[in-house]
Amino acid sequence: MKVVRLEVGPLACNAYLLVDEAAGAGVVIDPGAEGGRIVRECKANGLAPMFIVNTHAHVDHIGANAAVKEAFPEAQLCVGRRDADRLTDPAGNLAAALAEAAGCGPTAGCGPTVGCGPSADLLLEEGQTLRFGACALKVLETPGHTPGSVCLLAEREAPQQLFCGDLLFRMGVGRTDLPGGDWTELMQSIRDKVLSLPDDAVLWPGHGPATSVGRERRGNPFLA
């Protein structure tokens, strides 16, 4: 599985392209802004995405959903079940407050409205598997940053790869002071779904550089 990381928008969200190069199939994770750039990168990598996945429904992670969906209408737009309503709710997804700061909206080619629609085609729950070519992602429900936050685990890869949204960062953790955030849930999600993985598992966060479970277990001050 090939992983392409694109840092998009003023809030520097990581959008990921996951590609099974033999099959020309894959996934776009968190297209937060710069929809035209994401589409061009998909085409440059021979990728016709089967899924567009939002790890959670905040504007800096969903702002280019419409642009990517328009370019690849067969791709299923996915989000955690408990975040589904936020996709089209500008208060819940923070678009009403942060659209300009996130680099989203019609002038950025990210979507027709400040609400950041469209709505989801597929609602994600614990244990579901998204398959593309010979690759697969297992859905892990990881509430805390938002009620419906999910992580995506490529457990067949060596080492395993976890796309963890805003649950955990290199030497940091996600915010819980936004609507729907819950510190107790966040820390429980990290303990149960991240720290249970092998030390060499690679963590691909929603912002900032990649890290590993072992690095965070040993050095993240929030996990001491």
pLDDT, one tens digit per residue, over 39-85 is 999 999 999 999 999 999 999 999 999 999 999 999 999 999 999 99
Closest CA to 67 of 117, 16, 102: 117
In 10 A of CB 214, how many CB atoms? 13
Report the pLDDT value the prediction gives residue 99, as an integer from 0 to 100: 58
Which has more confidence, 123 or 116? 123
Q: What angle do CA 58, 191, 3 make, to 5 degrees?
A: 55
Please state, in angstroms and rounded to a whole number, the distance separating the CA atoms of residues 30 and 60. Answer: 8
Q: How confident is the model at residue 114 (pLDDT cuts 50, 70, 90)?
A: very low
- Please state, in angstroms and rounded to a whole number, the distance separating the CA atoms of residues 2 and 45: 10
CB count, 10 Å around CB of 40?
12
Which helix (DSSP H) or strand (DSSP E) does residue 54 occupy?
strand 48-54
Task: Looking at 130-198, list the stretches that DSSP marks H as alpha helix, in order from N- to C-terminal side.
Answer: 183-189
Q: What is the structure's pLDDT at 100?
A: 55
Between residues 97 and 179, which one has the greater pLDDT? 179
219: Cβ–Cβ under 8 A, 6 or more apart, which residues? 171
Asked whether residue 112 carries a pLDDT value surpassing 60, the answer given is no
Which region among 58-72, 89-103, 154-168 has the lowest average model confidence (pLDDT)?
A: 89-103
Phi, psi of 215 (to 5 degrees): -60, -45
Which residue segments constitute the domains of the chain, with CATH numbers given?
A: 2-223 (3.60.15.10)
> What mean pLDDT value characterizes the chain?
92
d(CA 6, CA 137): 19
Is residue 97 pLDDT above 80, yes or no? no
Residue 130 backbone class (left: φ over 0; alpha: ψ -120 to 50; beta: rest): beta
